[in-house]
Structure 1
């Protein structure tokens, strides 16, 4: 009985010490991280090339959710972007995709009447159901990949319905994606090799793709249900 009680108390202690979603630890605060999503509102976000947030974007149990059923029922949606723009950064977020779903997180997205879609300027970290969605047949289209450019390796994404923890770092061209605490993508966006890679991708006809050093973060509306939480940013200053 005594051992059982100690075990229960230990579990309660660990649970209490666990960091709650959409909050900053002391270490993160000291490092300069800021929340991009407070877990309660859509403050700090707006529709790409527009104002406000579509009604299919909802707050659900501390997550920012794009509700595909609401979207199909006539609710407004669309890609959403941060109010702020960022250059070099360390970005953290958790993402969860519905079965057979597809979405993504873009960076250095530029808003302008010249660009109808955020992916005309912003590279994308893929969010997808690897097991079911047909687009995942291509390695560079699988979860955690730099979409259509560099496949996530190893491919360690959790199944649909489970949270994946992501960390993305861009520092003077050096770009790294960590998926569930494992480095899965690494490149240098300032090199001729990266330019050549883009020229061989589906973005080859988009002259301003990955050309801007500063821009917004974007959460993609691909028509499927997706959740985001723990979105936080540390700007890297030089």
Structure 2
């Protein structure tokens, strides 16, 4: 059975993101670096814009989570993106997620690849969180804070989603 879902960039503060996804024919760019055609903002009141070929998201104080979603659906995939975030940020990229019509005004539900500044003690970046569906999907014994995410720098993420399995890497570390 082929699973399909939309990919979603969840911007919880200012974040720059560039995306591409592997397909059978080769890599498919999800973002052209020029505009947000093919993307839809859902829930919340964050704003998104293109600046120097990068998607920049900015939250609005008091707003619920905001989501920038692709309009297309994807099955099994390999996603590579780079992200740079403000210190102490908590954000993520939703994968295989859906909106539930009439629920939370477009809130996206499903697996989220965590994006979180490391701070002095490390963080849970790269682990899988169930947005609006039960909390951490990464087993508790594997939720070990680490410093793979480099605060104040561009970080390279790789996400491999095949069948029910999701693997993640940050800056080459799994």
TM range (shorter): 0.5 to 0.7
Structure 2: unaligned runs, 5 residues or longer: 1-16, 130-135
**Aligned equivalents of 1:162 and 1:155: distance in 2?**
13
- Show the counterpart of 2:69: 81
Matches within 5 A, 1:203-222: none
**Aligned equivalents of 1:162 and 1:89: distance in 2?**
26
Change (3 A) 1:88 1:152: farther
Offset of 1:131 from its aligned partner? 0.8
Offset of 1:30 from its aligned partner? 8.4
Contact 1:143 1:152 in 2 (8 A): no
Contact 2:148 2:171 in 1 (8 A): yes
Structure 1: unaligned runs, 5 residues or longer: 1-20, 184-238
- Show the counterpart of 2:48: 57
Relative contact order (C-alpha < 8 Å, sep 6+): which is higher?
1
Change (3 A) 1:23 1:29: farther
- Show the counterpart of 1:104: 92
**Aligned equivalents of 2:40 and 2:66: distance in 1?**
10
**Aligned equivalents of 2:69 and 2:126: distance in 1?**
19
| TM-score, normalised relative to structure 2 | 0.68
Offset of 1:33 from its aligned partner? 1.1
- Show the counterpart of 1:158: 150
Contact 2:128 2:137 in 1 (8 A): yes
Please provide the CA RMSD for this pair.
3.3
Change (3 A) 1:153 1:32: farther
Which of the two has higher C-alpha Rg? 1
- Show the counterpart of 1:43: 37
**Aligned equivalents of 1:83 and 1:31: distance in 2?**
20
Tell me, yes or no, if structure 1 residue 181 matches structure 2 residue 172.
yes
In terms of fraction of residues, the more strand-rich structure is 2
Contact 1:127 1:144 in 2 (8 A): yes
Offset of 1:78 from its aligned partner? 2.8
Change (3 A) 1:34 1:114: same
| 3-state secondary structure, aligned to 1:177 | strand
In terms of fraction of residues, the more helix-rich structure is 1
